[in-house]
Amino acid sequence: MKREIVSEFERFTTKKQLCQWLNLQRSSCYYKPSGGRRGANPSTHTMTRDGQAISNEQVVETLISEVFGQEFNLYGYQLSTEELKAMGYVINHKKTYRLMKDNGLLLGKVPRNRFPRQWVKWRRIKDARPLEHLCMDIKYVYIHGAKRNAYLLAIIDVATRYVVGWSLRFTMKHTDVILCLHGVMQGYKAKHIMLRTDNGSQFIAHGLRNFCKNNGITQEFTHVATPEENSYVESLFSQVEKEVIQCYEFDSLYHARDIFQRYFNWHNSKKRRHALGRISPAEYWNKVFHLHPVKPPAALSGEFVKGDDTNKKINNLSSLVLPLTNSQRGLSLLNQDDNEILLNLFQESVQRIGG
């Protein structure tokens, strides 16, 4: 801009005077842009350690024949640079990148995630109705008898704080999450669900996304390192930590499932929540949303009591995730690697056949 002013008024006074008035270096008035590419021209040759100058075309031929000609070789520009250096070339990764790019030798970018994620927009969910908004997360539970951690998956309804599904396993894969969600869908017959999760490997799996897409579930993800965006289930896990995990030592996975079954039944039917006006989730659901078509299922209303026989416990155990058929129930329990469960399942089958 200042150089244009100097060019316009230099016929009225000297260029030196104009530069002083504009506080402009006089040498800049003589600069004439070339209109070409800025910076030095790229080199046309590459030096070797013995002092020879090799043309870039020959370097590219060496890359194709000596480096990429190796079987199974899919090197990028950085590893290709190391190969050229080992052959005696004096070259850095920037020049190798330029040569490979100009000759179409760069590897294509591997897509890390083909599906764009829908991120949480509002931390607090307002005007929620039963089964419209669900929150899901996983928590570690230490099993003292097995001396290892188990994974507790919990799904809570935002509107009623009702735990609509949960699962406790030594391994938690995305297929186990799908199984639990399938039970929620079968038990409540909801038309559309907004599911909020974090970015755990089980929740970003393509299989879970396809399941959500095929069942009318919209999945939204919390931002990284922002657990407050999933505060509903985090609040549940805080209560689970104080009321269950810190109060019990679990002899086995079966023992832990027994306790969590009783706890979640008590949580849903009797536990008073401040957020619900100091009444239980089931009472709040039936009181505030008594005209809503989705009702709490009767399958989760029962509780374990002292004196229950083993068969009743096995039947209740089979409904931890979803109401399965007998064959599906046996397959699900066989994956738990628990000898006590296998023995009780066998006894139940013998009694059923005998009856």
Q: What is the pLDDT of residues 228-277, one digit of tens each?
A: 999 999 999 999 999 999 999 999 999 999 999 999 999 999 999 998 99
Mean pLDDT of 129-155: 95
The model's pTM is: 0.59
The per-residue pLDDT for range 77-132, each reduced to its tens digit, is 999 999 999 999 999 999 999 999 999 999 887 666 667 888 988 888 888 889 89
DSSP state string for 211-224: HHHHTTEEEEEPPT
Percent of the chain with pLDDT strictly greater than 70: 81
* All residues at 6 or more sequence positions from 272 whose CB lies less than 8 Å from its CB, including other chains: 278, 279, 280
Buried/exposed 153-177: b ≥16 CB within 10 Å, e otherwise: bbbbbbbbbbbbbbbbbeebebebb
